[in-house]
Structure 1
Amino acid sequence: MVASVSRHNYPVAAMEKVVPVLEGSLADSLRHVETSHDARAGALSTSLNVARIRCIGDPDAGKLETWESWLLAMQVSSAVFAAALTDQESVTCKIRQEEQRLEATGPQFYLNAGTWIDAFYLALICRETARLDMLARVPESLLRDCGGVPDDYVYAWVETLRSFWLRRDDVGQHLVRAVDLTAPQHARVMDTETMSKLEYPPMMMFYRYLRNDAAGFNEALNDALRWHKEYWTADESRSGSTEGAVALAPLAIACLAKANGIPIEVQSGYLPSALLDFAWRGEFDA
């Protein structure tokens, strides 16, 4: 039996009016992305925001422009890490079907562990193995050098995903540590509600995926989406936030599971079906 988690309501018409404004801001950032750190930071946040907002009016991500927005967010997030990783003066990256030559950067304020995790999720959603290969080579030291002091679970989760993609035998060790570090007594920055409802659930999904436990995976996915909804409907401020429109982490892990043979038996507006099914496969040279 297929489970269902409905998405909470958004003012669709109002959100659709925001998209052209954000697209204009994004276009301006992309014009300067080759050389400007501020432009790269702006493109990172705005491209993902546009992708989420498009899914408010297109919850299945069935429209071409919605898929293009997710593809662009993936391209931008991967490109900024490629520029940080290269040992050359610049690196050429495809962004919106154009070749952009990004100056090399090394560590920067916008290249933190949280940004890396989002980039990894976006590459999983877009099934971009070459970009996942590149992201997996980003060392933890670079992420730490970018400033900020997140809770320790963040770096343990980064190492879990890196080790998994690089086919190392210490994935389980890193995952156990990441889960343990989500316990309230280890939190310095993250509040308990955010940790338990947004950060912890994708780890349990990943655990079930590693065990090839289809029933357990779908149960964990259903839980993750229910908690996602609970979190983003807790008050008026959250319910209006576009960040809650798509459950990014559960979607990414579900895409990974589906690509590797685990049937997805949960439907939700937080889990756009065209992204989950990779419906636009072959339509673009990413």
Structure 2
Amino acid sequence: MNRDNTSEIPGTPGSDAELPMLTTAQASYLRELAAPYSREGHHHSLFGLGHTCGQAPESHWPELVAAHFAALRRASTGGESAEELLRGTHARLLPLASLTQDLVAGMRYARTVADGLVFAYALDGPTSVRILTDADVERAGPEELGRAAYANLMGVPVTHEEVSVGGRARLHSLHGDSPFVASKALFLSEVARQVTGEPLPRDGALAIVPNRHLLAYHPITDGSVVDALNGLASYALSAHEEGPGQLSPRVYWWSDGALTSLTVIDEDTRTFSLRPPPRLLGLMKGLVRLDRAGRLATPAAAQASETSDLARVAAESTGRLAREPVDPAGLGDAFADVLALGHARCADDPNLANITTWDAWATAVQLGSALFTGAGPQECHLGEDLVTRLPAMAAEPPADARAWLDAVYLAMACRQMDRIHRLCRVPLARLREDDSVDEYVLHWIDTLQTYFSDRSLDEAVPKLVAVMKTSVPEVVAQAPADFVNRIDFHPAALFHRLIAGDHDAFAEALAEALADHRGYWGDSAAPRARVALGPLAMACLAHDHGFPVDPKQPYLPAYLLDRQRIEDIP
């Protein structure tokens, strides 16, 4: 994850602080040309004019300056009626660097909305745009002007395009001739609804406003957020340098109606770095972990590899474990690869009747257990002719809470009680080092460890209650709400019905879990779409406790559920 991506930004050491697009000598020359107009009472920022002049030979500057101030003279200098102000005023983002002391003194209503950005009102005239003063705002009425400025801004036409970053992350680019396009970032969720039909997700979006004609954003939904962050940083820099109408070279996080800068600028070296705040960084880590493990329903997951390709990858990663010493990271990768293969084989073998499907599941059980508890020398089978002899492996449990749950769910489905008990002796403190999961995941692990350690249910129940209290939307900060509600929470809900001994409630909860699994994954080709692993584990546990669980249900391999396929696992 690129947290410190350093590059040059516009300007060089020694350039003018108020006109960074120019050298010190050029800035001095521009002020000299503008001085006569200032004496006429035109106390306007030279920021935009500086960018225009910076793109032209200095021999053309006098005529550019004259034309600039001529346009200002033609522009309205105030006195419009309230109706005229309401009809033409837009909410507007301005670069902080463009505001002079004279302008600020007459705009007490304006406010800083993010690093480098100021919110103001601007009147769109026939030949120019005028920033409103406090007197203008009072004349139109603050509340009425606010509503009108919002409506006028939202009515500004834009061209919407989707841009791919590295073939994975998707950026939404909004651009147009209007100088108010970038200002739509003030109301980004509603803008997203306008151009895509969907509002922004709960976690918001990454956004850039490099110049007044361009707004680009990436909704935060999956692990592609890292690629999007780096892609937006490059996009913002290049578009800001090219202009016209420079606004900000920064990347922002739009969340709950507010913009937070993720770009830290070192004014001495004129460099920038990307530094997400802790909350966003934790969210990004969680999404990357979920995405890499194939748990999220994404467009990339919908284009999953063929089973034959998954089998090749699983065989190769498992084969690498035969060399001593075993690499712990390689063991984790092999576990993930074989688990994906086991799920994928259920597309053609939903009941898990075939030996090749069982081999994948059994090998996943072996590797998942070895990952957290170590193992002696053993053989792994991924087909009749593919047997890998693995050396002894030391217990080096990784700080990966969701991989631990996968290992336990697999052991439960394959009735590996000894492995379950050993997995439940993995120190909870080690799993708590995983900063990519929300607290409810750790409470759920604590509940299972308590239950399978043959301790009293009186000890497990408060921990299950903690799962429920910490999995509500107001508390969950890292996992997507849709994933939590439709996938991740169901095993705990089923366990609640199981320990209560309520057969009917368990059957009802299981049907709901499978319906949510179907709704979440849709027609995705992702391996995890094939089996509802957590509900399967709980259904197997319920079956063994005498619950009347119907084995003929989607996403639950029948021959695992009723134990017909269960064989010894080395």
Question: Same fold, TM exceeding 0.5?
Answer: yes
**Residue 278 (structure 2) aligns with:** none
**Residue 526 (structure 2) aligns with:** 241
* Cα deviation, residue 269, structure 1: 3.1
CA distance in 2 between counterparts of 1:189 and 1:16 reads 31
CA distance in 2 between counterparts of 1:39 and 1:251 reads 27
* Cα deviation, residue 28, structure 1: 2.9
Within 5 Å, give how 1:168-183 maps onto structure 2.
168-169=455-456, 170-183=459-472
Within 5 Å, give how 1:21-40 maps onto structure 2.
21-32=312-323, 34-40=325-331
Equivalent position SS for 1:92 = coil
Gaps of 5+ in 2: 1-301, 382-388
* Cα deviation, residue 279, structure 1: 1.2
**Residue 128 (structure 1) aligns with:** 416
* Cα deviation, residue 51, structure 1: 0.3
Q: What is the aligned counterpart of 1:208 among 472, 487, 497?
A: 497
Could you tell me whether the CA contact under 8 Å between 1:151 and 1:189 is conserved in 2? Answer: yes
* Cα deviation, residue 20, structure 1: 3.6
The Cα offsets for residues 235-280 of structure 1, whole Å up to 9 and x where unpaired, read as: x7xx121121110000000011101111113633311101111213
Could you tell me whether the CA contact under 8 Å between 2:497 and 2:506 is conserved in 1? Answer: yes
2:550 corresponds to 1:265 = yes
* Cα deviation, residue 284, structure 1: 2.8
Within 5 Å, give how 1:220-231 maps onto structure 2.
220-231=509-520
* Cα deviation, residue 31, structure 1: 2.4
Q: What TM-score, normalized to structure 2?
A: 0.43
The Cα offsets for residues 35-87 of structure 1, whole Å up to 9 and x where unpaired, read as: 2123112111101001011111111110011111111101100011113xxxx
> Which 10-residue stretch deviates more, 96-105 or 131-140?
96-105
**Residue 66 (structure 2) aligns with:** none
Could you tell me whether the CA contact under 8 Å between 1:151 and 1:188 is conserved in 2? Answer: yes
CA distance in 2 between counterparts of 1:193 and 1:33 reads 42
CA distance in 1 between counterparts of 2:565 and 2:321 reads 24
2:366 corresponds to 1:96 = no
CA distance in 2 between counterparts of 1:35 and 1:251 reads 31
2:69 corresponds to 1:69 = no
2:450 corresponds to 1:150 = no
Q: Which protein, 1 or 2, shows the higher relative CO under an 8 Å CA cutoff with sep ≥ 6?
A: 1
CA distance in 1 between counterparts of 2:325 and 2:501 reads 42
2:564 corresponds to 1:275 = no
The residue type equivalent to 1:180 in the other structure is K
Higher strand share: 2
The residue type equivalent to 1:196 in the other structure is N
Q: What is the aligned counterpart of 1:166 among 453, 456, 463?
A: 453
* Cα deviation, residue 95, structure 1: 4.4
**Residue 251 (structure 1) aligns with:** 536
2:340 corresponds to 1:49 = yes
Could you tell me whether the CA contact under 8 Å between 2:514 and 2:554 is conserved in 1? Answer: no
2:417 corresponds to 1:141 = no
CA distance in 1 between counterparts of 2:379 and 2:463 reads 33
CA distance in 2 between counterparts of 1:62 and 1:263 reads 21
Structure 1 residues 229 and 32, CA gap change in structure 2 (3 angstroms): farther
> Which 10-residue stretch deviates more, 245-254 or 259-268?
259-268
**Residue 204 (structure 2) aligns with:** none
Structure 1 residues 196 and 266, CA gap change in structure 2 (3 angstroms): farther
Structure 1 residues 61 and 34, CA gap change in structure 2 (3 angstroms): farther
Within 5 Å, give how 1:190-201 maps onto structure 2.
190-201=479-490
The residue type equivalent to 1:61 in the other structure is L
RMSD: 2.2
Could you tell me whether the CA contact under 8 Å between 1:73 and 1:122 is conserved in 2? Answer: yes
Could you tell me whether the CA contact under 8 Å between 1:74 and 1:119 is conserved in 2? Answer: yes
CA distance in 2 between counterparts of 1:163 and 1:104 reads 21
CA distance in 2 between counterparts of 1:231 and 1:174 reads 27
**Residue 132 (structure 2) aligns with:** none
Structure 1 residues 262 and 34, CA gap change in structure 2 (3 angstroms): farther
Could you tell me whether the CA contact under 8 Å between 1:184 and 1:192 is conserved in 2? Answer: yes
* Cα deviation, residue 33, structure 1: 7.3
* Cα deviation, residue 285, structure 1: 4.2
The residue type equivalent to 1:55 in the other structure is C
Could you tell me whether the CA contact under 8 Å between 1:121 and 1:252 is conserved in 2? Answer: yes
Structure 1 residues 213 and 94, CA gap change in structure 2 (3 angstroms): farther
Gaps of 5+ in 1: 1-10, 84-90
Could you tell me whether the CA contact under 8 Å between 1:120 and 1:135 is conserved in 2? Answer: yes
Equivalent position SS for 2:306 = helix
CA distance in 2 between counterparts of 1:217 and 1:32 reads 46
The residue type equivalent to 2:378 in the other structure is K
CA distance in 2 between counterparts of 1:198 and 1:268 reads 17
Identity, % of aligned positions: 29
The residue type equivalent to 1:161 in the other structure is L
Q: What TM-score, normalized to structure 1?
A: 0.84
The residue type equivalent to 1:56 in the other structure is A
* Cα deviation, residue 200, structure 1: 1.5
**Residue 87 (structure 1) aligns with:** none
CA distance in 1 between counterparts of 2:533 and 2:474 reads 26
The residue type equivalent to 2:452 in the other structure is W
2:405 corresponds to 1:114 = no
CA distance in 1 between counterparts of 2:339 and 2:479 reads 22
Structure 1 residue ranges (4+ consecutive) displaced by more than 2 angstroms after TM superposition: 14-34, 97-100, 265-269, 283-286
Q: What is the aligned counterpart of 1:59 among 331, 350, 362?
A: 350
CA distance in 2 between counterparts of 1:151 and 1:285 reads 33
The residue type equivalent to 2:360 in the other structure is S
Could you tell me whether the CA contact under 8 Å between 1:218 and 1:266 is conserved in 2? Answer: no
Structure 1 residues 212 and 65, CA gap change in structure 2 (3 angstroms): same
Structure 1 residues 22 and 268, CA gap change in structure 2 (3 angstroms): farther
Larger radius of gyration: 2
Equivalent position SS for 2:308 = helix
CA distance in 2 between counterparts of 1:206 and 1:155 reads 15
Could you tell me whether the CA contact under 8 Å between 1:33 and 1:102 is conserved in 2? Answer: no
CA distance in 2 between counterparts of 1:135 and 1:194 reads 25
